[in-house]
Structure 1
Amino acid sequence: MKIEVLGGFRVSFGSSEVDLGTPKQRTVLAKLVMSPSRTVAIEELIDEIWPDDPPRSAVPNVRTYAANLRRTFEAHDAGQGVLIRQRGGYQLEVATDDVDLFHFLDQVERARQFNLRDDPESARSLLSRMMPLWCGPPLLGVPLGASLAAHVAAAQEQHLLAVEFLAGLHLAADRVEEALPLLWRTVAAHPIREPALLLLMRALHRRGDVAGAISVFRSAARTMRAELDVEPGSDLRRLHHEMIGHRAAVVPASPSGGSGRSDKSSAGTSTRPGIDGTDWDWLPS
């Protein structure tokens, strides 16, 4: 049995994909999938489907949805005993490795352990292989109650942390061109996410594009002021000030005694602390 929740919701036995039924029936299964090997009370399922005003028939309806799913699974030999009726609820017996989301999160944690054991290359390699598995938000198209919505939000945050972790590992390995696409996509989708902005600015600086890094900061600052009426955080402001100072330091004086402007000159190697590629305190742990 394989369960895919990333970018949609699919269940398959071998090459055979099963019909998960009506939207409410899919919500019941989604709640069970996101609570693996735990008995989910009927009341929890009712709250997920009808958060405000459940009908009088809510309990028998939930039992019907669960019975339909059990019959669907048991039509396949591998589906015998997968969905179990327990006292007061239901339990889905499925290995975490058989659910793409949980497999992804387990491998991200494995990569973090590699990094903690001073093996960043194994961490970087593992995460690079895992990233294509994330093909979209979890449970896309499934009606979500409050509990499932919270699960989805938490999973999406874990994905963003994993992307930032991998981008940091790429930069530490001096693979700027592998980090930049990850960071541009993240910042495009989350234009005021400060960890991604910091990494993107550092990646652009490492590439020699100080002007581009400063532009990223200014665009983010405008968005933060317009949408939240707040200023960028201290880390972003500090890095911006360092880069402004770095660019001024490498621009040669003009013959008239003024300062010329040359984006090309900003590609030189900085000797200012914090942006010369030797200070990696900002890397995710």
Structure 2
Amino acid sequence: MHNTTGETLQFRMLGPLEAVSGNRMIALGGTKQRATLSFLLLHANRVVATSRLLNALWEGDDAPASARKILQNAVWGLRGALFPDGGETEQTTLLTQAPGYVLRVNPDDVDLFLFHRRVAEGRAKLTTGAPQEAAVLLRDALALWRGPVLADLMEAGFAWPEVTAVQNARLDAVEDYCEAELACGRHHAVLGELEALVEAEPLRERSCGQLMLALYRCGRQADALNVYSRVRTTLVEELGLEPGLALQRLQQSILTHDRTLALPAVPAAGTAPA
């Protein structure tokens, strides 16, 4: 995405919202203007109806009588901030298009879309039995994050389901990365990350199982079984459910020192240093 100076315009959403032109950080204005840009970026290259944008900016009946005018002013302000010299092109622009607006961007200029692409590439490598390459791609994807997605707007009270979906996509990617590392025999390397993830998300059975496996391979069978006990208690007390069959089988395998839990044959070398 280029302005008239030839500098690439990039957007960062995986953390506080930022827009950068070359080495210059762009001032994006007040909360409503930043929220408008954020919501359009979440639905980049698709028309977002005015009514949907208004619902995103104001909850329920909180919208003032001047809400549409405030939105129009926000779009006008964004055009001035992002394209101060009128540097919009057919591919890189903020258009008024019925029934609302569309922000056209190159997906490679938005960290959120780069994240999704690298995760997809990493998963493909994992599926085809190339965990070394998968780990590199997934680690690169996760390195794009600077904090919670759109952290400044969420702190300001915005709560969009699209943001929850992105946060969940990050957790899925962390689990994919840990799976790749475990497949490479690097259980020590991901142990701390798994412990933090399970503490923050105790109902995610996949990461609980990964932590159990990592602990077992580190020679900590009792700790691995304690993880199972904790997740079972949490599931029963909060959801009235027993752990899934995969987690139950893993517990039994740990109890019996099943040989299938042994280190994989994949060599630990081959991934660039973190």
TM-score by length of 1: 0.80
**1:119 maps to 2:130:** yes
**1:230 maps to 2:238:** no
How far apart in 2 are the matches of 1:139 and 1:76? 27
User: 1:155-199: per-residue Cα shift (whole Å, max 9, x none)?
Assistant: 111111111111111111111122212211211210121000011
**CA distance 1:69–1:116, shift in 2 (3 Å):** same
**1:275 maps to 2:222:** no
How far apart in 2 are the matches of 1:154 and 1:164? 15
How far apart in 1 are the matches of 2:171 and 2:246? 19
Match of 1:50 among 37, 53, 58: 58
**1:93 maps to 2:104:** yes
User: 1:214-252: per-residue Cα shift (whole Å, max 9, x none)?
Assistant: 1111222233333334332232223223323x2xxxxxx
- The alpha-carbon deviation at position 144 of structure 1 amounts to 6.3
Q: What code does the residue aligned with 2:247 have?
A: L
- The alpha-carbon deviation at position 200 of structure 1 amounts to 0.7
Larger Rg: 1
- The alpha-carbon deviation at position 4 of structure 1 amounts to 0.9
1:64 maps to 73
- The aligned runs of 1:206-285 (5 Å cut-off) are 206-244=217-255, 246=256, 270=257, 272=258, 274-277=260-263
How far apart in 2 are the matches of 1:32 and 1:69? 11
Q: Conserved in 1, the CA contact under 8 Å of 2:132 and 2:181?
A: no
2:271 maps to none
How far apart in 1 are the matches of 2:227 and 2:128? 34
Identity of aligned residues (%): 32
Q: Conserved in 2, the CA contact under 8 Å of 1:187 and 1:193?
A: yes
For 2:261, what is the secondary structure of its paired residue? Answer: coil
Match of 2:176 among 161, 165, 168: 165
**CA distance 1:3–1:278, shift in 2 (3 Å):** closer
**1:106 maps to 2:106:** no
1:37 maps to 45
**How well do the aligned residues superpose, as a CA RMSD in angstroms?**
2.4
**CA distance 1:144–1:5, shift in 2 (3 Å):** farther
User: 1:21-60: per-residue Cα shift (whole Å, max 9, x none)?
Assistant: 2212211111111111112121111111123113222222
Q: Conserved in 2, the CA contact under 8 Å of 1:3 and 1:12?
A: yes
User: 1:72-122: per-residue Cα shift (whole Å, max 9, x none)?
Assistant: 112267566522222332221211111111111110101122233443322
2:4 maps to none
**1:204 maps to 2:215:** yes
Match of 2:82 among 73, 79, 82: 73
1:261 maps to none
Is the deviation greater in 209-218 or in 227-236? 227-236
Unaligned runs of 5+ in 1: 247-269, 280-285
**CA distance 1:52–1:159, shift in 2 (3 Å):** same
Is the deviation greater in 2-11 or in 83-92? 83-92
Q: Conserved in 2, the CA contact under 8 Å of 1:137 and 1:152?
A: no
Q: What code does the residue aligned with 1:24 have?
A: K
For 1:51, what is the secondary structure of its paired residue? Answer: coil
Q: Conserved in 2, the CA contact under 8 Å of 1:184 and 1:200?
A: yes
- The aligned runs of 1:161-200 (5 Å cut-off) are 161-200=172-211
**1:8 maps to 2:16:** yes
How far apart in 2 are the matches of 1:153 and 1:113? 24
Q: Conserved in 2, the CA contact under 8 Å of 1:13 and 1:78?
A: no
Is the deviation greater in 166-175 or in 68-77? 68-77
For 1:60, what is the secondary structure of its paired residue? Answer: helix
Q: What code does the residue aligned with 2:261 have?
A: I
Q: Conserved in 2, the CA contact under 8 Å of 1:47 and 1:145?
A: no
Q: Conserved in 1, the CA contact under 8 Å of 2:183 and 2:264?
A: no
Q: Which runs of 4+ in 1 moved over 6 A?
A: none
Q: What code does the residue aligned with 1:171 have?
A: L
1:262 maps to none
**CA distance 1:47–1:182, shift in 2 (3 Å):** same
How far apart in 2 are the matches of 1:120 and 1:237? 25
**CA distance 1:173–1:137, shift in 2 (3 Å):** same
Q: What code does the residue aligned with 2:201 have?
A: H
